[in-house]
């Protein structure tokens, strides 16, 4: 039995993705469409390339698929839009499944989110908290999941109580897209560092919460996509009006690259961040109480808020794909859960750097004019210790929005100035932070410990005195970092460098950020990596087992 999970239009209109699992719930391959079509977030685009890729990994054709699982109830949102499942699949996925139309299973959005988190976790039973902009009828839900049992929906909150909407309003007030919520989170840290007092915009009761900003008329029950869009515009509009009232302005007074110096912008970002932190902390406690266990899983777009995640006590698990792309996996797992999940999910499920992509063949990179040598760990480590900034593209790509050392830009973070240099390389705003990566034992000395969040770089942790001393380049303005702990040989080149740094008596920690230029998805294939290397002001590129440098940059002087 083969199950193709998708996040696809018309319901999944951003972060489309495809995932293939077998009859035992084992993942064969998983990819976001943006990695293949090179259009960030793949707005309104079907996951056709991602579906072709995952099928090619198993040597299958669309006709071999038994079930297509969608991470939305498309029938509720778009009633009577499609005459048949065959018509729906042609529109949503874009593949020709042949004369035998696969069964189409429409999994409610929050249930797909919940499944993607629980079954990726090492827990046998857990409370699962899903928080996002909205599903079909809700914005937050509490579940109990247990191996061998049907999932149980414990609580739900309506769309108008959406934390995602509150954060979207702040992001758009700041001039960002709602898909740039990470910028809002990074800016909010300047408010925390300054000790800003914010107005509380959420009322927490013993077993509930209520937003201070809501439409005059509450909306309950089911709604179509058009009705939800109208509700969204109303709620977000009222939140923006409240932020305008708080700031005394209807937008920032500084340009985007100077927002950290704009007190009004920082106040709005931090106010929204506090709304999320206060509410999620409360909901996490309610989830644990409802499930009767301390093990907690998070999912939904709000679970990408690393600052909030880092404030929650463990045991806590967030998957590498808590955003909407993850419902492709969660929908498939709802149809056929994995038989055994004793360790956290490996995020390395995407395209191999030298393997075939969705076309069935490996795109050949053009390395003309670049200087190639065999990859040597000592040489690579020396380049980094001498202040060089480079990129790594090895093995199968990560899934999710965090680069986890297989498609990463790396540097030694021994000065705060390296943050400025890497932001310049990536053409980012200078106020944005970076993450650090190290091994488990040394990480215990650098920052507060996180049992699972640091596996996927999904939780902020306060840096220790040693962390601030040896790795100031990855410590944000509020004293936190978003750490990654690298296990075993998950990312061979980066792991080898960390171990070599330790042998040389240097702090075994690196700055790690995604390998992509401004506005682009993370690189996927070797051809993507070489093109990005040429376009960006990088000193070296690890491509599989090769090391590439640019003419004139072969020395070891600190730049």
The total number of structural domains in the chain stands at 3
Residue 117 lies in a domain: no
Structure tokens at 75: 């029938």
| Together in a domain, 195 and 74 | no
CATH number at residue 467: 3.90.870.20
| Together in a domain, 235 and 383 | no
CATH number at residue 32: 3.30.420.40
Cis peptide before 401 (omega within 30 of 0): no
Give the residues of the chain that fall short of pLDDT 70: 215-220, 554-559
Residue 174 lies in a domain: yes
| Cα(297)–Cα(319) distance, integer angstroms | 8
Structure tokens at 392: 């790594």
Residue 515 lies in a domain: yes
| Cα(251)–Cα(59) distance, integer angstroms | 52
Is the separation of the CB atoms in 36 and 524 below 8 Å? Answer: yes
Per-residue pLDDT, 556: 47
| Together in a domain, 97 and 205 | no
Phi, psi of 459 (to 5 degrees): -145, 130
| Cα(311)–Cα(430) distance, integer angstroms | 25
Q: Which of 318, 350, 378 is the last residue of a domain?
A: 318
Residue 170 lies in a domain: yes
Nearest to 430 by CA among 185, 261, 196: 261
Per-residue pLDDT, 217: 65
pTM for the model stands at 0.96
| Together in a domain, 108 and 169 | no
Residue 517 lies in a domain: yes
Catalytic residue, from 14, 110, 341, 476: name it.
Answer: 14
User: For 489, what's the count of Cα atoms within 13 Å in the CB-facing half-sphere?
Assistant: 3
| Together in a domain, 263 and 170 | yes
| Together in a domain, 272 and 375 | no
From the number of C-beta atoms within 10 Å of its C-beta (0-12, 13-18, 19+), residue 99 rates as exposed
Per-residue pLDDT, 7: 98
Per-residue pLDDT, 557: 42
Residue 407 lies in a domain: yes
Structure tokens at 154: 């414990």
Per-residue pLDDT, 554: 60
| Cα(124)–Cα(148) distance, integer angstroms | 9
**DSSP annotation of 427:** T
Phi-psi region of 340 (alpha: psi -120 to 50; beta: other; left: phi over 0): beta
Tell how many helices (H) and how many strands (E) occur in the chain. 17, 24
Residue 326 lies in a domain: no
Residue 476 lies in a domain: yes
Q: Which of 318, 346, 381 is the last residue of a domain?
A: 318
According to DSSP, the residues that pair with 372 across neighbouring strands are 548
Q: Which of 284, 318, 352 is the last residue of a domain?
A: 318
| Cα(455)–Cα(122) distance, integer angstroms | 13
Is the separation of the CB atoms in 537 and 428 below 8 Å? Answer: no
Q: Do β-strands 540-543 and 390-393 pair in parallel, antiparallel, or remain unpaired? A: parallel
Verify whether residue 14 is a known catalytic residue: yes
- Cβ neighbours of residue 409 closer than 8 Å, sequence gap 6 or more: 389, 390, 391, 392, 403, 422, 425, 426, 511, 512, 513, 514, 515, 538
Is the separation of the CB atoms in 159 and 228 below 8 Å? Answer: yes
| Together in a domain, 173 and 292 | yes
| Cα(48)–Cα(36) distance, integer angstroms | 10
| Together in a domain, 296 and 435 | no
**In terms of residue numbers, what domain contains 374?**
363-549
| Together in a domain, 96 and 234 | no
| Together in a domain, 201 and 290 | yes
Q: Please give the span between the terminal C-alpha atoms of the chain, in angstroms, as a whole number.
A: 55
Is the separation of the CB atoms in 312 and 452 below 8 Å? Answer: no
Phi-psi region of 165 (alpha: psi -120 to 50; beta: other; left: phi over 0): alpha
| Cα(229)–Cα(52) distance, integer angstroms | 31
Per-residue pLDDT, 89: 98
Does residue 217 sit in helix, strand or coil? Answer: coil
| Together in a domain, 101 and 191 | no
| Cα(34)–Cα(362) distance, integer angstroms | 17
Nearest to 123 by CA among 397, 323, 316: 316
| Together in a domain, 311 and 387 | no
């Amino acid at each position: 039995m083969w199950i193709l999970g998708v996040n696809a239009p018309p319901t999944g209109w951003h972060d489309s993705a495809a995932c293939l699992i077998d009859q035992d719930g084992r993942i064969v391959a998983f990819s976001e469409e943006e990695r293949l079509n090179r259009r960030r977030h793949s707005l309104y685009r079907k996951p056709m390339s991602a579906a072709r890729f995952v099928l090619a990994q198993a040597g299958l054709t669309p006709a071999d698929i038994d079930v297509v699982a969608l991470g939305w109830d498309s029938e509720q949102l778009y009633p009577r839009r499609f005459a048949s499942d065959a018509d729906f699949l042609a529109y949503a996925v874009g593949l020709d499944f042949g004369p035998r139309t696969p069964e189409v299973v429409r999994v409610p959005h929050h249930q797909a989110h919940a499944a993607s988190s629980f079954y990726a976790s090492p827990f046998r039973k857990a409370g699962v908290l899903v928080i996002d902009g909205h599903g079909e009828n809700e914005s937050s839900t509490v579940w109990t999941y247990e191996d061998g049992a049907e999932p149980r929906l414990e609580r739900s909150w309506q769309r108008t109580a959406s934390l995602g909407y509150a954060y979207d309003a702040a992001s758009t007030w700041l001039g960002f897209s709602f898909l740039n919520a990470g910028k809002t989170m990074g800016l909010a840290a300047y408010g925390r560092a300054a000790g800003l007092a914010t107005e509380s915009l959420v009322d927490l009761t013993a077993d509930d919460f209520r937003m201070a900003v809501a439409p005059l008329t509450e909306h309950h029950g089911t709604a179509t996509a058009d009705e939800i869009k109208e509700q969204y515009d109303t709620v977000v509009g009222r939140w923006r009006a409240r932020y305008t009232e708080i700031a005394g302005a209807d937008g920032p007074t500084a340009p985007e690259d100077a927002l950290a110096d704009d007190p009004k912008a920082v106040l709005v970002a931090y106010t929204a961040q506090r709304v999320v932190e206060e509410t999620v902390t409360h909901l996490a406690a309610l989830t644990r109480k409802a499930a009767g266990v301390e093990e907690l899983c998070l999912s939904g777009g709000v679970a990408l808020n690393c600052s909030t995640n880092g404030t929650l006590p463990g045991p806590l698990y967030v998957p590498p794909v808590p955003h909407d792309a993850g419902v492709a996996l969660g929908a498939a797992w709802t149809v056929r859960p994995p038989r055994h999940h004793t360790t956290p999910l490996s995020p390395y499920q995407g395209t191999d750097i030298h393997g075939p992509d969705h076309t069935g063949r490996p795109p050949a990179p053009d390395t003309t004019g670049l200087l190639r040598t065999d990859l040597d760990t000592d040489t690579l480590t020396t380049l980094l210790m001498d202040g060089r900034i480079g990129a790594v593209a090895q093995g199968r790509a990560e899934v999710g929005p965090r680069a986890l050392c297989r498609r990463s830009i790396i540097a030694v973070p021994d000065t705060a100035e390296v943050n400025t240099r890497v932001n310049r390389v990536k053409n980012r705003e200078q106020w944005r932070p970076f993450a650090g990566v190290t091994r488990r034992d040394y990480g215990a000395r650098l920052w507060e410990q996180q049992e699972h969040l640091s596996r996927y770089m999904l939780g902020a942790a306060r840096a220790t005195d040693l962390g601030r001393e040896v790795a100031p380049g990855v410590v944000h303005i509020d004293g936190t970092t978003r750490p990654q702990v690298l296990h075993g040989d998950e990312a061979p080149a980066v792991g080898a460098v960390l171990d070599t740094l330790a042998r040389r008596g240097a702090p075994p920690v690196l700055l790690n950020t995604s390998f992509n230029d401004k506005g682009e998805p993370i690189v996927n294939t070797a051809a993507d990596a070489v093109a990005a290397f040429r376009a960006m002001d990088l000193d070296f590129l690890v491509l599989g087992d090769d090391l590439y440098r640019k003419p004139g940059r072969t020395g070891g002087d600190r730049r």
